[in-house]
Amino acid sequence: MSEGDLAVMKPETMKSYIWLQTADGSIQQVEQEVAMFCPMICQEVIQKGVGSSKNHAISLPQRVNPAMFSLILDYCRFHQLPGRSNKERKTYDERFIRMDTKRLCELTSAADSLQLKPLVDLTSRALARIIEGKNPEEIREIFHLPDDLTEEEKLEPLKNSMDDPRIRLLNRLYAKKRKELKERERLKNVEVEEHVDERSVDDLLSFINGRDHKAVKMSKGKKKKKKKKDQKIVSSNNIHDKESHDLRSKQQCVEEIGSSMREVPNLLSAEDDISTPNAGSEDEDIDDEIDPAMRELLDREVEDFAQRLNSNWVRSLGKERRPVHFSINGNGTTRRHTGMVSIWRPCMFTLF
Amino acid sequence: MSSPERKRKKRSLEPSPESTPNPSLPDDLIVSILARVSRLYYPILSLVSKSSRTLVTSPELYKTRSFFNRTESCLYVCLDFPPDPNPRWFTLYRKPNQNITEKTKNSSGFVLAPIPNHHSHSSSIVAIGSNIYAIGGSIENAPSSKVSILDCRSHTWHEAPSMRMKRNYPAANVVDGKIYVAGGLEEFDSSKWMEVFDIKTQTWEFVLSPLAERFIYRSLVIEGEIYIFGDKVVTYKPKEDRWGGVGEHQSMDLGLFFHSYCVIDNVLYCYRPGGIKWYESEKRSWRKLRGLKGLSKLASSCVKLADYGGKMALLWDKYIPCSGNKSHSISCAVVSLERCKNQGIRGKVEWFDDMLTVPSSYNFVGALAATL
């Protein structure tokens, strides 16, 4: 043994081998140039002067088990040799990481504890690619992460923010009602109070869902008003009226959202079968007589132009910034120029 | 004694490393692994555990991503649902719970997911790095000088210094990490027509603009030069503080169609009914973008193009016939672009799919990509 110690202390052999001890207690000798490829070992040798003999073997971190260490040495042995082409190295790396996820995790952990950055990069990338194809349950398993989210929390990212306007509207309605109620209680007006009590949640909901067509018409009518000044006067004269107008406009939005936006949350979950018309399907019904896409195209063009004009036009007229949204979208009226249609139509059906 | 055969003499003592359970990885290692996962999968990670949910919105993770050079372009879409004054933001993700093995042929596996927070007004939008700036626009029907920032890492909004002027949907463009806004003034004043925001100093300064255009229809940036299309075309190159007209490029504007355009790698692309064209500045002419086989039919009045990290994101809407024209569906396609030998550009449709169903009264504010 002492002879051996002496042997490794000879300069030429000192350069050749380093003594290393894995966490299980086993000691082994490794070619110096291979072992020194690991920055952690390199530091130990340089800073602490250990590893030169069996008695002064470098203790490897807990996370380096013998099997992984042997793999890491293979990796080091390959990469520490100069003169290999990038292609060779890449091919080797690709083959090297072909192992199951569990071993890949162990290897990453071991390489990390030896500060072997290129290998950590390699295995982390491989793990990242694996994760990209996994579901939450499988990812939990890979990383030993606790399943500590409640079922409700798991639904959270899938929650539909499209519900917001409805909820906000409801809340606003409730707030308004509560305010009114308080006001009336203060006035001790029993009749009105009874009236308020009749408004159940269902009533509110049906109101929101747009069964009150009168209100919708009213709001549409208002929106159509070309004289912005009038609208401005109406809204500024009577705050309450403005508020209800606002609510009716909201209601219209909600009506539309209600009919179509419910699908949005489903889109996030693959299990939910939404019949999504295929974008590439050949039987698109754009070839109508009145061609909605065409009409819309023109609408948008008009709208776009009107919007541009409005931004200046409106400045002088009043405060309504985007009246075109209402006039165009409210009823889908078209202000198209017949000449334009004949120009556009052939283009529309030119396919890619 | 120090022969190579001896070096592994004790290795066989531990034949079964499998007997020990898979050791859990230290947190920083998990961060470094998850930082390499494409952000498209982050909603899935947020369903794993509390820690991973916190992690996917943490600055630490995004710092690691940028350290490893793993940043990627993330597509954001902004839609207006009048009369709701709050625009809605969506971002492109992979569908969670997607069973890879049972992937249906027609499903791209992508989804435009609503982001949880939204800010309070409709505005012009630009992206710098991981932030999206919402600039000016209107708040309660009045022009605004407000600037909001959407931090796309955490999907939170915060305020940036306001512009010096109130601007109604100004033309906003980014050159060298500075935001140049023009127009949208209540009272036209050429001395206050353009201002610039320096994100480093967080200040707005006016830009002396001899060629102010009263009305701006559209604007874009090519090779560090801002093109502003009004009644005339005005160009401004901030680097040289050079203003100019664009007489020779008049055909550039003529080919543009609404707001269905974008600039990718200094090439201007534009959708016109029938296809996508790109502007060849040497020949001053529009050329058809070849390829695009997957998109057999694309006829929509609302098509948005966006630079999606060098690829083109195409978003368009169409009526849903059965909805009684009350709803539209919004579809998305990602097209990779490559130069051909004949100086042309070929597009290749990577995927396309239906993304959202929206009420027909919606407005498409814009689509853009942040870098995360």
A165 vs B: CB within 8 A: yes
Q: What is the DSSP letter of B21?
A: -
Co-location of A30 and A93 in the same domain:
yes
Q: What is the pLDDT of residue B272?
A: 83
- Is there a contact between A30 and A70 (Cβ–Cβ < 8 Å)? no
Q: What is the CATH number of the domain that holds A45?
A: 3.30.710.10
Between A317 and A256, where is the model more confident? A256
CA distances from A259 to A161, A329, B111 (A): 15, 16, 20
- Is there a contact between B320 and B327 (Cβ–Cβ < 8 Å)? yes
Kindly report the number of other CB atoms within 10 A of residue A171's CB atom. 10
B243 vs A: CB within 8 A: no
State the nearest Cα–Cα gap between B364 and chain A, in angstroms.
11
User: In chain A, what residues touch B230 (CB-CB under 8 Å)?
Assistant: none
| Helix (H/G/I), strand (E/B), else coil: B279 | strand
Between B327 and B265, where is the model more confident? B265
- Is there a contact between B150 and B134 (Cβ–Cβ < 8 Å)? yes
Q: How many residues does chain A have?
A: 352
**The pTM is what?**
0.69
In chain A, residues 58-77 whose CB comes closer than 8 Å to chain B: 63, 65-68, 70
- Residue A253 phi, psi (nearest 5): -60, -45
Q: What is the pLDDT of residue A297?
A: 53
Confidence class for position A182, pLDDT limits 50, 70, 90:
low
- Closest among A243, A332, A177, A232 to B360, alpha carbons compared: A332
Co-location of A134 and A179 in the same domain:
no
Co-location of A114 and A164 in the same domain:
no
3-state helix, strand, coil in chain B (%, to 5): 15, 45, 40
Co-location of A44 and A124 in the same domain:
yes
Confidence class for position B319, pLDDT limits 50, 70, 90:
confident
Q: Is residue A220 part of a domain?
A: no
Distance CA A328, CA A250 (A): 17
Between B258 and B251, where is the model more confident? B251
Amino acid, single-letter form, for residue A33: E
Res A245 pLDDT > 80: no
User: In chain B, what residues touch A65 (CB-CB under 8 Å)?
Assistant: 14, 17, 20
Mutate to test the interface with B, among A160, A232, A276, A344 (most CBs of B within 10 A): A276
Co-location of A80 and A122 in the same domain:
yes
> Mean pLDDT over residues B127-140, rounded?
91
User: In chain A, what residues touch B216 (CB-CB under 8 Å)?
Assistant: 308
Give the residue numbers spanning the domain of A81: 17-143
Co-location of A49 and A137 in the same domain:
yes
Mind listing the pLDDT tens digit for each residue in B134-192? 999 888 788 999 999 999 999 999 999 999 999 998 999 999 999 999 999 988 888 99
Co-location of A104 and A179 in the same domain:
no
Q: Is residue A132 part of a domain?
A: yes
Percent of chain A at pLDDT exceeding 70: 40
Q: Is residue A250 part of a domain?
A: no
Tokens matching residue A199: 């408004």
Between B180 and A310, where is the model more confident? B180
Between A63 and A327, where is the model more confident? A63
Mind listing the pLDDT tens digit for each residue in B82-102? 888 889 999 999 886 555 444
Confidence class for position B294, pLDDT limits 50, 70, 90:
confident
Mutate to test the interface with A, among B28, B67, B78, B357 (most CBs of A within 10 A): B357
Q: Is residue A312 part of a domain?
A: no
Mind listing the pLDDT tens digit for each residue in A20-76? 999 888 999 999 889 999 999 999 998 988 888 888 899 999 999 999 999 999 999
Location of structure tokens 């239906």: B354
Q: Is residue A319 part of a domain?
A: no
Helix axes A201-208, A164-187, angle to 10 degrees: 130
Domain tally for chain A? 2
Tokens matching residue A80: 């520490």
Tokens matching residue A203: 């009533």
| Helix (H/G/I), strand (E/B), else coil: A248 | helix
- Closest among B33, B31, B71, B41 to A121, alpha carbons compared: B33
Percent of chain A at pLDDT exceeding 90: 28
In chain A, residues 267-326 whose CB comes closer than 8 Å to chain B: 267-271, 276-280, 282, 284-286, 292-294, 296-301, 304, 308-309, 311-312, 315, 319-322, 325-326
A228 vs B: CB within 8 A: no
Q: Is B268 exposed, middle or buried (0-12, 13-18, 19+ CB in 10 A)?
A: buried
Chain-chain contact of A276 with B329 (C-beta, under 8 angstroms): yes
Q: Which of B22, B81, B319 sits opposite A253 (nearest CB)?
A: B81
Co-location of A124 and A156 in the same domain:
no
Co-location of A41 and A131 in the same domain:
yes
> Mean pLDDT over residues A329-334, rounded?
31
Q: Residue A329: closest CA among chain B residues belongs to which residue?
A: B361
Tokens matching residue A214: 């009168």
- Is there a contact between B369 and B127 (Cβ–Cβ < 8 Å)? yes
- Is there a contact between A73 and A111 (Cβ–Cβ < 8 Å)? no
Last residue of a domain, one of A128, A163, A192: A192
The ipTM estimated for the assembled molecules is 0.81
Chain-chain contact of B118 with A161 (C-beta, under 8 angstroms): yes
Mean pLDDT of all residues belonging to chain B: 85
Q: What is the pLDDT of residue B330?
A: 93
Co-location of A154 and A139 in the same domain:
no
**Helices in chain B by DSSP H: which ranges?**
27-34, 42-45, 50-55, 59-67, 250-254
Weakest mean pLDDT among A51-65, A68-82, A204-218, B17-31: A204-218
Co-location of A37 and A83 in the same domain:
yes
Last residue of a domain, one of A192, A221, A250: A192
Last residue of a domain, one of A123, A143, A163: A143
Q: Residue B359: closest CA among chain A residues belongs to which residue?
A: A256
Chain-chain contact of B14 with A24 (C-beta, under 8 angstroms): yes
- Closest among A315, A310, A321, A319 to A232, alpha carbons compared: A319
Confidence class for position A178, pLDDT limits 50, 70, 90:
low
Domains and CATH numbers, chain B: 27-70 (no CATH), 71-371 (2.120.10.80)
B340 vs A: CB within 8 A: no
Q: Is residue A131 part of a domain?
A: yes
Q: Is A150 exposed, middle or buried (0-12, 13-18, 19+ CB in 10 A)?
A: exposed
User: In chain A, what residues touch B20 (CB-CB under 8 Å)?
Assistant: 65
Q: Which of B49, B298, B361 sits opposite A352 (nearest CB)?
A: B298
Q: Is residue A2 part of a domain?
A: no
> Mean pLDDT over residues A85-92, rounded?
95
> Mean pLDDT over residues B200-213, rounded?
91
Chain-chain contact of B11 with A108 (C-beta, under 8 angstroms): no
Q: What is the pLDDT of residue A329?
A: 30
Co-location of A138 and A28 in the same domain:
yes
Distance CA A161, CA B302 (A): 23
Q: Is residue A325 part of a domain?
A: no
Q: What is the pLDDT of residue A181?
A: 63
CA distances from A189 to A174, A181, B254 (A): 19, 10, 67
